[in-house]
Structure 1
Amino acid sequence: MQLREDALRLEDLALYQRSATAAIPSLHYPVLAPLGEALVQLRRANRAHAGQDFAEPAVERSSIDALEILELEETDPDTVRFESDATLEIPPEIFRDYDIRGRASQISKALAHAIGQAIASEALDRGMTSMVVATDARESSPLLREHLVQGMLACGIDVIDAGTVPTPMLYFACHHLHTMSGVMVTGSHNPADHNGFKIMIDGETLCGERIADLRQRISGQRYHQGQGSYRVTEIDSDYSKAILDDVLVESPLKLVIDCGNGAASVIAVELFQELGCEVLPLFCELDGRFPNHPPDPSVAENLEQLIAEVRARGADLGIAFDGDGDRLGVVTASGNIVMADRLLMLFARDLLSRNPGADIVFDVKCSRNLTAVIVQNGGRPIMCRSGHSWIKEKMKETGALLGGEFTGHICFRDRWFGFDDALYSAARLLEILTASGQSLDELNAELPHAIGTPELRIEVPEEHKFALQQRIVDSLALENARLIKLDGVRAEYPDGWGLVRASNTSAALICRFEADDEEAMRRIQAAFRAELGSLLPDIALPF
């Protein structure tokens, strides 16, 4: 009976999906969610054809009747379960410092189900009763979501499915729907064959020991049992309205927006048009294969097409989002990349003008000029280890109103919710630009400059990277440098600094350098090269 109810609800959605008021139905069977979501996406696409007759059915009733999915055997929606299996393969390397992530092939259906059970059980232990779930655009995401949700329901948690949306919209839904808990199925900025889960429980983005605890819960099969409910929701309009109510763009700007075929494609163009901008879309069609460039705007090569389009179209600036919409990349009208630590300088200067004395959190990879800008404008700079989860945790601990990291995660807590949101951050940037009456090139030129490198990767085996980092932390000796061992080693000199740390999202050690001039850069890199060469004699260095 429940299966027939779901079929009829989907039939109604399909027949009238071009209606502006068509509702997304609640479903008993989460396995049917991708079909419901596809119909919703079709409805979104057809909104543009306002001149057509909205009462006209989008598909024939016979096509719905013919769907093989209606021939499924009538069963209870939660009887599809995985037996407890001591041989369940649990790759330890996918349980990372601030999410669960690896190659999609490493996350079996059974493991996704177990992860769902572990997350739901942890949420129930903390007094939560419902969670929001969403996915990015990757081809592996719908299947992972299906088995994740089955595991969650089997523990008694109620699941609200927000569909395919960027990660910030998942976080927003957790606040807006008062669940304060959710799971995003996403591989973030990683290659198309990667995937995983970002997790928030009771307002806390899980990281460190909390992620390790989930693995231990799976190993010990310590799960709740119950019968959760499942429904689908659409959060797009509420999210857009919240930004439009908060941000004021005083004059129209011409933007090129590069979504990189990622999840931000579902909302970015429409959102910035509603803010009053002329939007030139670039790769704003969902395609989880990321055919045009890797979905990471913190890498300069991935912005080359955006830079060319900004110059060719005479745009005021270009904006880029990563695969799940929580990393921001920005280029000026002249084609200069404005790295996230420089964006933080602009945001800090603006925020501190209204909130003097506020704390501002940034990661170990950021320019030390950011510290100077914060101090000069009356704020308190707080350095933190890298990682979006650590930034948010430190912001909560200190009450900071702004936080961010070099890779483009930026979190506002003055007028927003404190989570990393590239769409909202881009809107705040436009607010600053139009209020100032200056171009981004002009504002960027006002900020202090230094010679800096991008992230320099030293490829190492995944299973060895943290041991190598510890060897460096224990043994690195650099004359005339103050060593900060907050996250790897950052060596501070009077005229610059260098950093080496293990990446939490890929099999690599990461180095970065900044200096007042070329001579200082050569000297600092030479000191690191000599030390790392002796500690890691078999590894080629990229500097």
Structure 2
Amino acid sequence: MTISSSIFKAYDIRGIVDDTLTEEAAYCVGRALGVLALSRGKNEAVVGRDGRLSGPRLCWALADGFRDAGVNVVDVGMVATPLVYFATFLLGNGTGVQVTGSHNPPQYNGLKMMVAGETLYGDTIQGLLQWIQNEKPVRGVVPGVQRGSYTEMNVWPNYLANILGHIKLARPMKIAVDCGNGVAGAFTKILYEALGCEVTELFCEVDGNFPNHHPDPAHPENLQDLIACVKNGDAEIGLAFDGDGDRLGVVTKDGEIIYPDRQLILFARDVLSRNPGATVIYDVKCTRHVAKAVKAAGGEPLMWKTGHSLIKAKLKETGAPLAGEMSGHVFFKERWFGFDDGLYAGVRLLEILSRGSDPSAELNALPNSSSTPELQLQTAEGVNFEIVKRLQAEGKFPTSESVNTIDGVRAEYADGFGLARPSNTTPVVVMRFEADSDAALARIQSEFKAAILAVAPEVKLPF
């Protein structure tokens, strides 16, 4: 069997269906994961899939690989990614794979993987590729192994009951949800109505062609339908979900987008009210207001590397009750299981907002500054890492107070911050800037421009 090395990314496996990501590849990965799971004492794995058209056959090939390695497969069907994670906790095996292309275009699909409670990333994912290349697997049961069993399970009733068992809204709410035809659409209305909400649905029919807009709430253009719905209807707030339901977007009645780092401030205040002194983890792309708010609420802010797998690992290491990323992944360990779950983040948001009479006013009052969206400096493959490495070693940021190099370069200023980090998924340098005023924003960007051009004079900056 042949397999493309290009699908083995930093945080997951991802490629174009029937080109780089084939059924053969899914089978090989399933077999490699089965061997890894057995080596860690796990002989059972959960598999699920999002609403993409290629999901059923890729999931079946993946399950075949697991079974031929001697691992029993529990298929939870078409579900949001968090339900696969939930099923691994429910069954106690900590091992599962979601076949999902997340927010990527329809021709893509991929695999998000965890084994024995560890979300796979980096060297472990590369280790799967090396095993496949070394073992050159062929179809058929591994010699000396009994083929694993296959069963199906509906995990949704347990998931719903668990949430309803510990979350109660202070009052009924009217909300709008936009699922962008992603798999979250199969669950949002049932979940939020069970909590007592009146739900207006936008694009909640699961359709792997994504005919209305891209299922990615990180980009404002994908939130315009929801903004119009909330502005012109009777919903108090709008919730948006990405293609596989592990990220949350939020819009207010007046059309403001509440980006995930500001959402994290609201969640942190709530969690810290019950867990004084606890650590709250946030990634390097988040507003500096997160650290200030966590300290003000009596907590310990901890900045960490971007990447849902890396954040999850840090959460497990520190025992923190809460973590979040600018991308929209939020991880609740308090009263939940510590995995990223957009559906559950929406529940926790409504729990907080239902205590007041004006959700939009409460959200709009969250600390805010002038900021840029993510800016991307396009490079050749691998050059993004070289540029940032040189920037870490030689970069000059004369008016900054400190420079953090945990994940790229984040320079902190009295009135803002600037960030340049290499993307682990595409050959770009990701940049983001924030400041107390437009003038400060321009000054910080100017310093970064000079620093980057000093180490890479050939590049064309996006600002």
Q: Distance in 2 between matches of 1:141 and 1:313?
A: 35
Q: Secondary structure at the match of 1:337?
A: coil
Partner in structure 1 of residue 407 of structure 2: 487
Partner in structure 2 of residue 511 of structure 1: 431
Q: Distance in 2 between matches of 1:474 and 1:165?
A: 45
Residue of 56, 78, 83 corresponding to 1:164: 78
Q: Distance in 1 between matches of 2:389 and 2:15?
A: 22
Partner in structure 1 of residue 370 of structure 2: 451
1:180 aligns with 2:97: no
The verdict on how the C-alpha distance between 1:438 and 1:373 changes in structure 2, with shifts beyond 3 A counting, is farther
Partner in structure 2 of residue 285 of structure 1: 205
Report 1:470-481 matches (<5 A).
470-481=389-400
Instruction: In structure 2, list runs of 5 or more residues that go unmatched.
Output: none
The 10-residue stretch of structure 1 (532-541 or 485-494) with the greater mean CA deviation from structure 2: 532-541
Q: Secondary structure at the match of 1:207?
A: coil
Cα deviation, 1:521-541, whole Å, max 9, x if unaligned, reads 000011112222343444332
Cα deviation, 1:243-275, whole Å, max 9, x if unaligned, reads 111211121111110011111111111111111
Q: Distance in 1 between matches of 2:13 and 2:382?
A: 15
Cα deviation, 1:8-49, whole Å, max 9, x if unaligned, reads xxxxxxxxxxxxxxxxxxxxxxxxxxxxxxxxxxxxxxxxxx
Cα deviation, 1:283-316, whole Å, max 9, x if unaligned, reads 1011112121111111111111110111111310
Partner in structure 2 of residue 99 of structure 1: 12
Q: TM-score, normalised by structure 1?
A: 0.81
Residue of 234, 244, 252 corresponding to 2:154: 234
Residue of 96, 118, 121 corresponding to 1:207: 121
Residue of 265, 271, 275 corresponding to 2:195: 275
Which residue identity is paired with 2:63?
A: V
Q: Distance in 1 between matches of 2:100 and 2:427?
A: 18
Q: CA deviation at 1:463?
A: 4.7
Which residue identity is paired with 1:252?
A: P
Which residue identity is paired with 2:225?
A: Q
The verdict on how the C-alpha distance between 1:98 and 1:358 changes in structure 2, with shifts beyond 3 A counting, is same
Q: Distance in 2 between matches of 1:178 and 1:194?
A: 31
Report 1:248-397 matches (<5 A).
248-397=168-317
Q: TM-score, normalised by structure 2?
A: 0.95
Q: Pick the structure with greater CA Rg.
A: 1
Partner in structure 1 of residue 327 of structure 2: 407
Q: Distance in 1 between matches of 2:436 and 2:259?
A: 17
Q: Distance in 2 between matches of 1:352 and 1:146?
A: 43
Q: Check whether the contact 1:392–1:419 (CA below 8 A) recurs between aligned residues.
A: yes
Q: Secondary structure at the match of 1:324?
A: coil
Q: Secondary structure at the match of 1:521?
A: helix
Percent of counterpart pairs with the same letter?
46
Q: Secondary structure at the match of 2:354?
A: helix
Q: CA deviation at 1:355?
A: 0.7
Q: CA deviation at 1:222?
A: 8.0
Which residue identity is paired with 2:242?
A: D
Q: Distance in 1 between matches of 2:25 and 2:317?
A: 33
Partner in structure 1 of residue 29 of structure 2: 115
Which residue identity is paired with 1:303?
A: L
Q: Check whether the contact 1:490–1:499 (CA below 8 A) recurs between aligned residues.
A: yes
Q: How many residues align?
A: 455
Q: Distance in 1 between matches of 2:361 and 2:114?
A: 39
Q: Distance in 2 between matches of 1:244 and 1:506?
A: 39
Q: Check whether the contact 1:314–1:333 (CA below 8 A) recurs between aligned residues.
A: no
Partner in structure 1 of residue 163 of structure 2: 243
Q: CA deviation at 1:138?
A: 1.2
Which residue identity is paired with 1:517?
A: S
Report 1:31-70 matches (<5 A).
none
The verdict on how the C-alpha distance between 1:468 and 1:287 changes in structure 2, with shifts beyond 3 A counting, is farther
Instruction: In structure 1, list runs of 5 or more residues that go unmatched.
Output: 1-84
Which residue identity is paired with 1:324?
A: D
Q: CA deviation at 1:111?
A: 1.6
Coordinate RMSD, CA, aligned: 1.6
